[in-house]
Amino acid sequence: MSEAVISCAIEDAIAVVTLARPAKLHALTPAMLDALEQQARALDADPTVRAVILTAEGERAFCVGADINEWAALQPLEMWRRWVRRGHQVFDQWARLRQPVIAALNGHAFGGGLELAVTADIRIAADQACFALPEASIATCPGWSGTQRLVTLIGPAHAKYLALTGARIGAAQALDRGLVHEVTPAAGLRERALQIARDIAGKAPVAVQLTKQLINAAAAEDQAATLEAMAGALAASTTDAAEGIRSFQERRAPHYRGT
């Protein structure tokens, strides 16, 4: 994974994933989407990671959305295949990561950057951060769940205000509308995110991760997969499951007891 677009550091069961394209205010490119996808897969597979912090370098921006230069020349089918659909796939991976994700929003979160922030379970913002969905001003629409996941989070009225006006709101307004959970001075943002991550990492990891999945399912986020995974885990813990494996290996009929 190229350190030119994101970086990841893991210490004491906490992973800190940092967007690293400050010269472009971390505007998202296909390479960044690829890097985010690879990182999500790696974190989900890492049994040592109990909490994840998602943030960005510097203080100006968390992410100002999609890099217009990357998609402006795309034809409609390419736009669907390579950009909108791809972004959804990557953001869905982050939203469904088994570990809790804390977004430490160090600056502007616009368009796709706001949509990325919304994939996190907990969002804390620096006091100078601001938020917007400016897509309508460039004749397009929110493409990575700004009209879906964001509505679940803050409700249709607030989502309409952001998406239809393109207005920027500050951290205090974002807190009032439920978009972020806490606002903190910029200098203390990283430490506050680490404090929350340490609190989570100190709790029973399986219970924490199952609780996240249950809440996601209640919000219609990957509901079917959550139910099937939990049912499969429960079934695998039974004596019948052990008997099923033994009978297959011993090439005989199983004797199930319902336990």
| Active site residue ranges | 115, 135
Rounded to whole angstroms, how far apart are CA atoms 71 and 165?
Answer: 23
Distances (CA, A) of 155 to 127, 152, 221, 222: 23, 6, 16, 19
Tokens representing residue 15 in the block: 């992973």
- Angle at alpha carbon of residue 146, lines to 140 and 148, rounded to 5°: 120
Give a three-class secondary structure readout of the chain. Answer: CCCCCEEEEEECCEEEEEECCHHHCCCECHHHHHHHHHHHHHHHHCCCCCEEEEEECCCCEEECCECHHHHCCCCHHHHHHHHHHHHHHHHHHHHCCCCCEEEEECCEEECHHHHHHHCCCEEEEECCCEEECCHHHHCCCCCCCCCCHHHHHHCHHHHHHHHHHCCCEEHHHHHHCCCCCEEECHHHHHHHHHHHHHHHHCCCHHHHHHHHHHHHHHCCCCHHHHHHHHHHHHHHCCHHHHHHHHHHHCCCCCCCCCC
